Structure 1
Amino acid sequence: MGATVDAPPTGRVGPVPVVNAANGLTALRLALIPVFVGLVVVSDMVHPGWRVAACLTFAFASVTDLVDGWIARRYALVTSFGKVADPIADKALTGTALVLLSWYDLIPWWVTVVILARELGVTLIRFWVIRYGVIAASRGGKAKTAVQTLAIVWYLWPVPAALTGVGPWIVGVAVVVTVVTGLDYVVRALRLRRAPR
């Protein structure tokens, strides 16, 4: 008898349709960005009710990133569209939030520039090494995303005045983790390029 090939977890055979639950959540995340921007602008970052709405919208959009990835892996729904659109949606959501918070003088502009420069740099590095292989997401990268999300949520939510001093510490941790994981990505990319074929 010939060797058998294991089927995907769902028993799927054939190409994965582009229109599926995972890609639908990615598209939803992209669609929520203008809604989030509108809520922030309406709130002018001074009206608590609108700030809460903006914060919940951002948090929900961020959660869809975790869910769509899990669905894609669990049900074998990984597509070329998802591979491209998912990181674009993530960076667009986080970048938009950081720019808005800096615009309203809640987060220093240099923090936003450092984080966005890191994300752009990592994206360019991915293209630089794509012919050599794919660098898997690390725990550090996941921690970076988590702490960035926490920092943004903290500044969107109308926290009591007595707790405002916590925000800069969260942002500080986010910057450090962002820079360190960015450097780690550079090192891993260089090793991948130098590895014998």
Structure 2
Amino acid sequence: MVPRARVANVANALTAFRMLLVPVFLVVMFVGDGHETYWRTVAFIIFAVAVITDHFDGALARSYGMVTEFGTLADPIADKALIGSALVGLSVLGDLPWWVTVLILVREVAVTVLRLVVLRRGVIPASRGGKLKTLVQAVAIGLFVMPLSGAWLTTAWVIMLVAVVLTVVTGVDYFVSAFRDWRARPARQG
């Protein structure tokens, strides 16, 4: 029998901490008129800390046998809550066009629903492209949260456009892979 990891572990604590940072991040980002340099810098720091915890919770869980059902469920929820709230917040403030936010969120919801639909036939693991997409999205969003101007803002836009392209390409890839796997594998009995 394989020993089960305890739910109360460092990896899950980091995931829970990231979930708690989401509302704090949003409140800080909207202090004043939402464009005060000091508060946007603080919001960026909170966002960066949350993104960094995403890397460490998964690495710790896999390396030290701390993978739990809670972590498997809570980690992607925390990720989507952080990215989604940042995108919506930036669009509400007028710093990011709504089409970018909607496109990214529709892809995230569609892939999540797809994963749930095909769960009986097996888990669709995160691809390298999906992991790269997440990293590029986090960098782009972080740059938009920072109070930047001039060449830095241009850089933020270039990275955001790369994130949008990766979002579309990896979304299509997930659907193609799921369809291929759906046809190749019988449903698991459970």
The TM-score range, normalised by the shorter chain, is: over 0.9
Cα distance in 2 for partners of 1:164, 1:65 equals: 25
Structure 2: runs of 5+ lacking an equivalent: none
Cα distance in 2 for partners of 1:93, 1:102 equals: 14
Q: Alignment partner of 1:42: what SS?
A: coil
Alpha-carbon contact 1:43-1:51 (below 8 Å) kept: no
User: What is the number of residues matched between the two proteins?
Assistant: 186
TM alignment of 1:68-107, pairs within 5 A: 68-107=57-96
User: What percentage of residue pairs aligned between the two structures are identical?
Assistant: 52
What is the TM-score of this pair, normalised by structure 1? Answer: 0.90
CA displacement at 1:79 relative to structure 2: 0.6
One-letter amino acid of the structure 2 residue matched with residue 177 of structure 1: L
Question: 2:126 maps to what in 1?
Answer: 137
CA displacement at 1:68 relative to structure 2: 0.2
Does 37-46 or 138-147 show the bigger shift? 37-46
One-letter amino acid of the structure 1 residue matched with residue 155 of structure 2: V
Question: 1:63 maps to what in 2?
Answer: 52
What is the TM-score of this pair, normalised by structure 2? Answer: 0.93
Question: 2:139 maps to what in 1?
Answer: 150
Cα distance in 2 for partners of 1:170, 1:134 equals: 30
Cα distance in 2 for partners of 1:47, 1:115 equals: 26
Cα distance in 2 for partners of 1:165, 1:71 equals: 36
Structure 1: runs of 5+ lacking an equivalent: 6-12
Which of 14, 24, 40 is the matching residue for 1:35?
24
CA displacement at 1:58 relative to structure 2: 0.3
One-letter amino acid of the structure 1 residue matched with residue 148 of structure 2: V
Q: Which runs of 4+ in 1 moved over 6 A?
A: none
Alpha-carbon contact 2:31-2:39 (below 8 Å) kept: yes
TM alignment of 1:111-190, pairs within 5 A: 111-190=100-179
Give CA-to-partner distance per residue, 1:164-189, whole Å, 9 cap, x none.
Answer: 22222222111110000000000111
Cα distance in 2 for partners of 1:140, 1:183 equals: 11
Cα distance in 1 for partners of 2:137, 2:62 equals: 24
CA displacement at 1:49 relative to structure 2: 1.1
Could you say what the CA RMSD is over the residues aligned between the two structures, in angstroms?
A: 1.4
CA displacement at 1:161 relative to structure 2: 3.1
Alpha-carbon contact 1:52-1:158 (below 8 Å) kept: yes
TM-aligned CA distance change 1:55 to 1:196, over 3 Å: closer
Greater C-alpha Rg: 1
Alpha-carbon contact 1:147-1:174 (below 8 Å) kept: yes
Cα distance in 1 for partners of 2:89, 2:20 equals: 17
One-letter amino acid of the structure 1 residue matched with residue 113 of structure 2: L
